[in-house]
Amino acid sequence: MVTMEKQGIPVVGIANEHFESDWKIAARTKGVPGTRYVLTSLPSNCVQVDRCEAAAEEEMFDKLVEALTRPLTEEEKGPVLEELKVERVACTGTLQEVNQYFYEREMTDGLPIIPPTEAAVQEMLTGTDLPPDYLVTKILPEMRKATVEKIAINAVMAGCLPTYMPVLIAAAEAAMDPDFHLVETGVSTGSYAPLMIINGPIRNDLNINYKHGALSPGRRANATIGRALRLILLNTGRALPGIQDMGILGSPGKYTQCVGEHEEASPWEPLHVQRGCAPGSSAVSMVPITGRVAILGGDDPQNTLRIAAQAAVVRANSDYLGSNIVFFVSPASCDIFRDAKWSKKDIQNHLYEHARILPTSFWGARLYKPTGRRNVEFFLGKEMAQWIFKQEGTDMPLPIVTGPDKFVVVCVGGHGMNQNAIFTCGHGTLVTREIKLPRDWEALVAKYKAREIERFRYTAKERKYQ
């Protein structure tokens, strides 16, 4: 619509009545604030033909004609996109009063924040050599500037230490990579949540948990790095729940979802090296996750992968084909694969061949196929569209991803039972960014290391008496 409007072609859109604020903000940020639209009670993605026809006749037709024929106003003839200006604000009061101030202005995730005082932000900025006004990226949907200082402000609010800044800068860049599809995943009804996977020496520098309970609360680095990313997306992109973030159910993963890869227990090269980073470097990989299935592995590779394939198919029933499937493999299962001499490619190929689904079982194919090949290609990708239309009238199963490499295999977790997990995403794919460290990194790590590991220093006997 925006492309057509900018070419002088009159267009009127149709929006569900609960998405009006989302429409207005999207139109403004794309430079066409006067774009006309008609509201309807018809749910998004409705494919009931009778219901659609009734809504078109009763709710929309006359309004569409009127909107297409009404003369343009002066504002609509030459809309001007004004860049959002964000001014510094100051508030005083108790910790509770400051938190209430931020909460009322929708600048928090609902949890208490650390007040971002000038002193706290200046300390946070010691975690990077970049100047405070350096523009890292602009965050969708409102395309506000994510400068180094704004990243530092949100890092303070989340409870981060200055040593986390290099990770957050790389994560902000990754979020705006076109392959991540933040424009869809940040505001989608599908309730996507970024999953961050940290690789390299920085895992141990920051005491990032990649062993027992890697996805659980308890470790400051995991909890606050993931949370800081959420606050960055919230306060610079302004994807507010119910206003632009239209997730139907939402996701607890949006609070925080950050782990390290257990490289020491893995029989394979680390994820970031597999994706082109140099050995010995540190990196963050991110993928927009919609769901997770926890699974118990079998006692041999085939059993383990049979269960993983079944879990992936269960998730694919409610997700888009063609995106990533992330397979978290515990150290116990890694041992099984190591003993059997299975490579990552072996695992990927096996899952690709066995994780398949009938075209008629996949909701995306049912939803978009009646509207034509172009819609199927747009939502599912050309490869999947070719599969779907090629199998017209047949029951040949489709692979749930476009290729074996779409299965992302990562060792995560502690030793014990061979418990694993399957994560799926819809729009967007895995993106990796190398983490660039400041010049005085070793001194910085030494300065804050004590804060990181203090709560883990006590012996069992000492803990008993605390």
pLDDT in tens, the chain (466 residues): 888 877 878 889 898 888 888 888 778 777 777 788 999 988 877 777 888 889 888 889 999 999 989 888 877 776 665 555 667 778 889 999 999 999 999 899 999 999 999 999 999 999 999 999 999 998 878 788 899 999 999 999 999 999 999 999 999 999 998 888 887 777 777 788 899 999 999 999 999 999 999 999 999 999 999 999 999 999 998 888 877 787 778 888 889 999 999 999 999 999 999 999 999 999 999 999 888 888 887 788 998 899 899 888 876 654 555 578 999 999 999 999 999 999 999 999 999 999 887 766 555 555 555 556 666 666 556 666 666 666 555 566 777 787 899 999 999 999 887 889 998 876 778 999 999 999 999 999 999 987 765 444 545 555 554 4
Q: Are 105 and 201 in the same domain?
A: yes
End of a domain among 17, 47, 77?
Answer: 77
Q: Are 197 and 302 in the same domain?
A: yes
pLDDT at position 169: 98
In the chain, what's the furthest Cα-to-Cα distance?
80
pLDDT at position 400: 79
Q: Are 194 and 239 in the same domain?
A: yes
pLDDT at position 465: 44
Q: What sign does the dihedral 198-200-205-209 (CA atoms) show?
A: positive
Q: Is residue 439 part of a domain?
A: no
Q: Is residue 388 part of a domain?
A: no
Q: Are 191 and 254 in the same domain?
A: yes
| CB-side neighbour CA atoms (13 Å) of 120 | 17
pLDDT at position 466: 42
Q: Is residue 451 part of a domain?
A: no
144-147 and 36-40 strand pairing: unpaired
d(CA 429, CA 196): 12
By the 8 A CB rule, do 246 and 149 touch?
A: no
Q: Are 24 and 108 in the same domain?
A: no
d(CA 363, CA 373): 15
Q: Which of 292, 307, 415, 295 is nearest to 351 (CA)?
A: 307
Q: Is residue 365 part of a domain?
A: no
Domain that holds residue 162: 95-355+400-434
Q: Are 157 and 40 in the same domain?
A: no
pLDDT at position 231: 95
Q: Which of 221, 201, 138 is nearest to 448 (CA)?
A: 221
Q: Is residue 171 part of a domain?
A: yes
Q: Are 72 and 100 in the same domain?
A: no
Q: Is residue 426 part of a domain?
A: yes
Q: Are 405 and 321 in the same domain?
A: yes
d(CA 409, CA 285): 12
Q: Are 121 and 195 in the same domain?
A: yes
Structurally, the chain folds into a number of domains equal to 2
pLDDT at position 317: 53
Cross-strand partners of 258: 196
Give kind and range of the element (H or E) at residue 347: helix 344-354
Cα–Cα distance list, 25 to 35, 74, 464 (Å): 11, 20, 55
By the 8 A CB rule, do 286 and 410 touch?
A: no
Q: Which amino acid, 74?
A: E
Q: Is residue 166 part of a domain?
A: yes
- What burial letters (b/e) apply to 75-90, b meaning 16+ CB within 10 Å? eeeebeeeeeeeeeee
Please give the DSSP secondary-structure letter assigned to residue 451: H
325-329 and 407-411 strand pairing: parallel
pLDDT at position 362: 57
Q: Are 196 and 52 in the same domain?
A: no
Q: Are 288 and 406 in the same domain?
A: yes
d(CA 164, CA 152): 10
pLDDT at position 91: 84
Query: In a 10 Å sphere around its CB, with 0-12 CB exposed, 13-18 middle and 19+ buried, how is residue 24 labelled?
Result: middle
Q: Is residue 456 part of a domain?
A: no
Q: Are 67 and 150 in the same domain?
A: no
